Amino acid sequence: MRRLAPMLLAALAVLAVACEKKTQPTGEGGGQPAAQVPAVAQGGGTPAGDDVIVLGEVGALTGGQATFGISSRNGIALALKEANAAGGVKGKKLVVRVYDDQSKPEEAAQAVTRLITQDKVVLILGEVASSSSLAMAEKAQAAGVPMITPSSTNPTVTEKGDFIFRVCFIDPFQGFVMAKFARENLKLNKVAVLQDNKSAYSIGLTEVFRQKFAELGGKITVTESYSQGDTDYRAQLTAIKKTQPEGIYVPGYYSEVGVIARQARELGLKVPLMGGDGWDSEKLFELGGSAIDGSYFSNHYSPDNPDELVKKFIADYKADYNGAVPDALAALAYDAARVAIDALKRAPDTSGPALRDAIAQTKNFPGVAGVITLDAKRNAVKSAVVLKVADGKASYVTTIAP
Amino acid sequence: MSQLLQHLINGLASGTIYALVALGYTMVYGVLKLINFAHGDVMMVGVYMGYATAFALGREAQRSLWGVVIIFAVAMGGCALLGFLIERFAYRPLREKPRLTALITAIGISFALSYGFQLDIGFLPGASPRAFPEVIVPTEWFIIGDRDVVVWNWQVISFLIAVTLMVTLQFLVYRTRFGKAMRAVSWDHRTAALMGIPTDRIIALTFMLSSALAAGAGLLYAIKDTSVSPLMGLYVGLKAFVAAVIGGIGNVPGAVVGALLLGLVEEFVVGYAASTWRDAVAFGFLILVLLVKPGGLFGRVAAEKV
Amino acid sequence: MATPGATTLPDDMAGPIPPALRGLLPVLLALPVLALAEWTLGASPFATYLLSVVGVNIILAVSLNIVNGMTGQFSIGHAGFMAVGAYIAGVTSLSLKEVALSFLPVAASDQVLFVVALLAGGVCAALCGFLVGLPSLRLRGDYLAIVTLGFGEIIRVFVQNTEAFGRALGLSGIPQYSSVAMVYFWVFLVVLVARRIAGSSHGRSLWAIREDEVAAEAMGVDTTGYKVRAFVISSFFAGIAGGLFAHFVPIINPGSFTFVKSMEIVVMVVLGGLGSTTGAIVAAIFLTLLPEGLRSVFGYLGAEGSLAQKVDQIRMPVYGVLLVVLMLARPQGLFGTKELWDVLPRWLPRKKKGLS
């Protein structure tokens, strides 16, 4: 203890000196962010096995978001199976290394580093949660390995650098879609919001929705929150009921929304619920039962879509996964994998920069979840559809373009 | 006014379920001085057992009175067995070892169960939540005003089941030989053993009882919130544990009071303050209680002597 | 690793070096070793990352050991202190991102600012540790544990609701200043502090509290003071660990600092043997590398194809089962209360020579 004090004092002195210096010379060193120049891609050399191309995938296979991670994994596996059945790419088979990140960003960072360094993957797919994707994006960008996130909607993800892409639309657009629909098609004046405080996705949509809905002349009566994993939302719903809204915006995931709908009806709240693509799953109808009928959500595509591609995807997915119907996350992951495969075919070789350029050139790519064109910010530009839930299925209502 | 009533109903509903789970923590703590971290996960397993039974029974049978009884019996019996196995193989060998050791095995079991049930291999259910069948067909029993407050039949039935379980437990602990033995073990298990009480058997029975109780609580919880997922044990378990501590861990009526208080506090924080701060307030309340009464509301402050 | 070997030095040495310098000597000895390690590892990002995680976990385990192992208090909210450190350091670094010290090259000035951020995080965490340590005036055993647990959860909720901390998304874009050398410098420091405490009269008081609080108090040990000090030191290093963590992941989010994380640290301490610093280190290394090792093993078993995709999920349940097996096989932890060097040479001839 006695010796600790002088050491602490010394540390403090050093600290004080440093502080003093740092304030004055801002002008000189300012504007020089730490060396974040993307390193030269080391992934150029083909991996050990010469007859295969290894892709990497990071997903939440356990933990709070496992259900989304597993859907994504299934979608990617299906896409690869099809590509391999069609002869692979450049005469080589495609394989994917899947690592579990337990729904934690630090595990995602670790897994992605392992994929890049140990497994020498040429391209990375993942994650669902934006925070995990952000962690991965830093690592992938630094190593110069392209990464495609199927379903991270937070705008900051692709801002990490030119190796990071996404095949879904971003939060601001989706929030805007539902605000516009609620105001102009449903003619609602007063809407309450119930957001998932644990999910950046939900918070992002809420922010945009509140802002846009107010701009369009509507009123937000109250914003309540729950945490992913909760199962009792009666307290929030009772508080919402007091404000007598004409609709409730619930931008969460189906795993919670189904139960929320039931409890809302149980408490006598009969107004329509509205949500985003997080709702899209067969499970929604199982969890929500008849309570979810009459609700609306924005999505990438409509299952009614007569498009052959969509039909084939759903049939194949069902055949591979015990009759499970793919959710939006599976569809987006399938698209992401197919965009990746397409880029692999077009790219002259499998080095990072070549692949990056090939992906960036993706135009009018026919995805299951909408036609994909990547813009200059490496985001997919797509229009959104609004679906109405009735009798255990979601049917097409309208399309809203960006 | 009607809103207040509604919040009161909601709070009591979650409070009674916390209470049933908290009782399990408190009983095990009473006899072993062990915080059984796997308790919530045992509850989760019980709910899945009930879920599987309900499916095996089919849609019609699960809604009959006998169907419900069978579902509860299977889940509670299955969990009692699970509780026995866990005690026998993970805790008993460590009985005379430092208390923290058993705690770590409890955590290990908790991990194995909650992550194991997230796998989608073989019979395991997979990570996504599932809808729990409506074993009690919902009907409205009371309606106040223009549907301002609605009381459903299953709310009343669940409440009655919970109260019955608690009264039975109270009877078991305070009016039977087994209960007397259990309290003796809790007081001092070495002396109890000298008095001819088969401590090992009593502890095993306590475990089975608390696990069965957890399964019952879990089923009521699943009926209330109509869903079941592998992580439910973690969330409910933590809250119930807090409730047990608020009441004074090791104290049976304390667990019930603590749980009801916690349920109401949570409900009113969400209803009248900010829903984002619910968990913080719940834990803040706990800390406050402990600062004022260091042994919990009903706990005896252990004057530790040498 | 250089650390355990080097720490034996100050313990029993009463050499010719002046006492004021003796505390610094191991530090001076360790620096070149760390620099060498950094230089050889620079090429492999995965090794760097993994070693950093291991290092952070060592800091957490060793610091928690000061409270849980040496003092016999039971803290299960260590992730909360880590979160405080991570967020404060993260915010500091983010706000200083554009700043550089004029008289130093950019890389060096970054490192200086990094240390400033780390210390800020550590000091804030220590402050929180002081606040949490205070209730130990009145609370004992499991009740204190619950308070620490509650603190951890409150911190998490607080972060989740604060815009400046990025809410659910977390803080991202924290500059990746951290290096293996920096992490192991702090590992080294925490081990040094822990060992120095264990060998000092301060440490003897902590042991006394651990063995019998009432008796210790009767003997005139200021139990409250010692307990609070143990808390403060332990949470300071947890804060540092959090700060380091924030600078190599480099995103922090409330989901990383849950109750489960706290339990993982407790597991490391208990598995290593309560009160054994080297035990905590070995357990931290082992438990951090175990999931990665399982990943490799499974990778070989089910190389590619459908099995490989399922295999990664099995790690966590297997981890749980392994914990149970390990505790049943060695209930007192790997080393009990002894240190590595107490155990190694005597393992075969005399197995038990208990301390109590």
Domain ranges of chain A: 52-169+308-382, 172-299
DSSP-derived secondary structure letter, C252 = B
Cα B234 to Cα A204: distance, rounded to the nearest angstrom:
27
Q: Pull the structure tokens for residue C280.
A: 């905590």
**A112 in Cβ contact with A136 (< 8 Å):** yes
pLDDT band at C236 (very low <50, low <70, confident <90, very high): very high
Task: Give the residue on B whose Cα is nearest the Cα of A287.
Answer: B131
B141 reaches C (C-beta below 8 A): no
pLDDT of residue C127: 95
**Does B150 contact A234 at a Cβ distance shorter than 8 Å?**
no
B158 CA: distance to closest CA in chain C (Å): 30
Taking the CA of residue A49 and the nearest CA in chain B, the distance in Å comes to: 29
Band of pLDDT at residue C134, cut at 50, 70 and 90? confident
Q: pLDDT at position A12, please?
A: 44
| Most confident segment among A332-341, B223-232, C347-356 | A332-341
Average pLDDT over residues C176-199: 88
Weakest-pLDDT range from A151-165, C29-43, C67-81, C338-352: C338-352
Binary contact (C160, A198; C-beta < 8 A): yes
d(CA C237, CA C197): 14
pLDDT value of position C42? 60
CA gap A334, A369 in Å, rounded = 9
Q: How is the beta sheet containing A247-249 ordered, strand by strand?
A: A219-226, A190-196, A247-249, A273-275, A296-299, A384-390, A393-400
In Å, how far is C261's CA from the nearest CA of chain B?
Answer: 12
H or E stretch including B152?
strand B149-152
Asked whether the domain spanning A172-299 has the same topology as the one spanning A52-169+308-382, the reply is yes
Q: Nearest by CB to A70, from B120, B221, B279: name it.
A: B120
Burial class of residue A47 in the structure, from the number of CB atoms within 10 Å of its CB (0-12 exposed, 13-18 middle, 19+ buried): middle
Instruction: Among A32-41, A268-277, A362-371, name the most confident range.
Output: A268-277
pLDDT at C132 over 80: yes
Residue A121 in this model has a pLDDT that exceeds 80: yes
Q: How far is B272 from chain A (nearest CA, A)?
A: 7
CB pairs under 8 A between B and C: 135
The count of domains in chain B is 1
Q: Residues A284-328: pLDDT tens digits?
A: 888 888 899 999 999 887 777 778 888 889 889 989 888 888 888
- Binning pLDDT at 50, 70 and 90, where does residue A49 land? low
So what's the pLDDT on residue C153? 87
Mean residue pLDDT of chain A comes to: 83
pLDDT band, very low/low/confident/very high, at A79 (cuts 50, 70, 90): very high
pLDDT of residue C346: 56
Q: Distance, in angstroms, between B225 CA and closest chain A CA?
A: 6
pTM for the whole thing? 0.85
Smallest Cα distance from A391 to chain C, Å: 34
Which residues of chain B are within 8 Å of residue C223 when distances are taken between CB atoms?
Answer: none
Residue B232 to residue B42: CA distance in whole angstroms? 11
**A114 and C101: CB-CB below 8 Å?**
no
Q: Among A106, A113, A124, A154, which would you mutate to test the C interface (most chain C Cβ atoms within 10 Å of its Cβ)?
A: A106
CATH topology of domain A52-169+308-382: Rossmann fold (3.40.50)
Q: How many CB atoms lie within 10 A of CB B229?
A: 28
Judged by CB atoms closer than 8 Å, whether chains meet at B3 and A238 is answered as yes
Q: How confident is residue A78, by pLDDT bands cut at 50, 70 and 90?
A: very high
Burial label for C38, CB within 10 Å (0-12, 13-18, 19+), is: middle
Residues of C in contact with B90 (CB under 8 A): 324, 328
What tokens were used for C276? 């054994």
Partner-chain residue, chosen from C146, C320, C332, that has the shortest CB–CB distance to B97? C332
Chain C contact present for B305, CB below 8 A = yes
Q: Among residues B188, B266, B168, B215, which one has the least CA distance to residue B48?
A: B215
Mean pLDDT of A154-165: 89
Neighbours of chain B (3+ CB pairs under 8 A): A, C
Report CA Rg, chain C.
Answer: 21
Taking CA–CA distances from C140, the nearest residue in chain B reads B294
Q: Using CB atoms, pick whichever of B224, B234, B271 lies closest to residue A239.
A: B271
- Which of B35, B108, B245 faces C320 most closely, judged by CB atoms? B108
Q: Which two structure tokens, joined as six digits, stand for A240?
A: 């919402």
Please give the helix or strand (H or E) that residue B149 lies within, else none.
strand B149-152
Mean pLDDT value across residues C110-133: 92
Give the C-alpha separation, B275 to C255, whole Å.
Answer: 18
| Residues in Cβ contact with B56 at an 8 Å cutoff, skipping those fewer than 6 apart | none
Establish, for the pair of chains A and B, how many residue pairs have beta carbons separated by less than 8 Å.
102
pLDDT, one tens digit for every residue, chain B (306 residues): 778 888 898 899 889 999 999 999 988 988 888 888 899 999 999 999 999 999 888 877 777 888 889 999 999 999 999 999 999 999 999 888 877 788 889 989 998 998 888 887 767 777 788 888 888 888 888 777 777 787 888 888 888 888 898 889 889 888 999 999 998 998 888 899 999 999 999 999 999 999 999 999 999 999 888 889 888 888 888 889 899 989 888 888 889 999 999 999 999 998 888 888 888 898 999 888 888 888 888 876 555 443
User: C25-34+44-343 has which fold?
Assistant: ABC transporter involved in vitamin B12 uptake, BtuC (1.10.3470)
Neighbours of chain A (3+ CB pairs under 8 A): B, C
pLDDT grade for A366, boundaries at 50, 70 and 90: confident
- How many angstroms separate the first and last alpha carbons of chain A? 64
In a domain, B301, yes or no: no
pLDDT tens across C42-88, in order?
A: 667 888 888 899 999 999 999 999 998 888 888 888 999 999 999 99
Under an 8 A CB cutoff, do C106 and A34 touch?
A: yes
Q: For chain C, what are the domain ranges?
A: 25-34+44-343
Going by pLDDT thresholds of 50, 70 and 90, the confidence category of residue C343 is: low
Binned at pLDDT 50, 70 and 90, residue C330 comes out as: confident
Q: Would an 8 Å CB–CB cutoff place B273 in contact with chain C? A: no
Whether residues B221 and A231 touch (CB distance < 8 A) is answered with yes
CATH architecture, range A172-299: 3-Layer(aba) Sandwich (3.40)
Contact between chains at C157 and B279 (C-beta distance less than 8 A): yes
pLDDT of residue C23: 55
Residues of C in contact with B29 (CB under 8 A): 142
**Residue B99 or A104, more confident:** A104
Phi, psi of B299 (to 5 degrees): -70, 150
C169 at the A interface (CB within 8 A)?
yes
> How many contacts does A have with C, using Cβ atoms within 8 A?
170
pLDDT band at C34 (very low <50, low <70, confident <90, very high): low
Residue A167 tokens, joined = 């095949």
Using DSSP, state whether C76 is helix, strand or coil: coil
Q: Is residue C223 a contact partner of residue C138, using CB atoms and an 8 Å limit?
A: no
Which residues of chain B lie closer than 8 angstroms to A232, CB-CB? Answer: 10, 14, 224-225
Any idea what the CATH number is for the domain that residue B83 is in? 1.10.3470
Does C350 have pLDDT greater than 50? no
Instruction: Kindly tell me if the per-residue pLDDT of A364 is higher than 60.
Output: yes
Q: What is the domain extent for residue B27?
A: 2-292
Statement: residue A11 has pLDDT above 60: no
B-contacting residues of A 227-246, CB under 8 Å?
227, 229-232, 234-236, 238-239, 241-242
Instruction: Name the residue facing B150 among A255, A262, A266 (closest C-beta).
Output: A266
- Nearest CB among C156, C320, C331 relative to B97 is that of C331
- Report whether B257 contacts B18 (CB < 8 A): no
Per CB-CB distance under 8 Å, the chain B contacts of A262 are: 226
Nearest CA in chain A to B14: A232
Whether omega before C250 lies within 30 degrees of 0, making that bond cis, reads: yes
Residue A49 neighbours by CB distance under 10 Å: 13
Mean pLDDT of A2-29: 43
Distance from CA of A170 to the nearest CA of C (A): 14
Nearest partner of A60 among A113, A102, A112, judged by Cα: A102
Which residue of C143, C314, C323 is in closest CB contact with B105?
Answer: C323
Question: Is there a contact between B105 and C328 (Cβ–Cβ < 8 Å)?
Answer: yes
Average pLDDT for chain B:
87
Reported as a pLDDT band with limits 50, 70 and 90, residue A5 is low
Element (H, E) at C38: helix C25-41
The closest CB to that of A98, out of C177, C202, C308, belongs to C308
Helices B232-247 and B39-61 pack at an angle, to 10 degrees, of: 120
Cβ under 8 Å to A: C residues 301-330 = 304-306, 308-309, 312-313, 315-316
Task: Inform me whether the C-beta atom of residue A197 falls under 8 Å from chain B C-beta atoms.
Answer: yes
On whether any CB of chain C is under 8 Å from the CB of A9, the answer is no
Shortest alpha-carbon distance between residue A291 and chain C (Å): 29
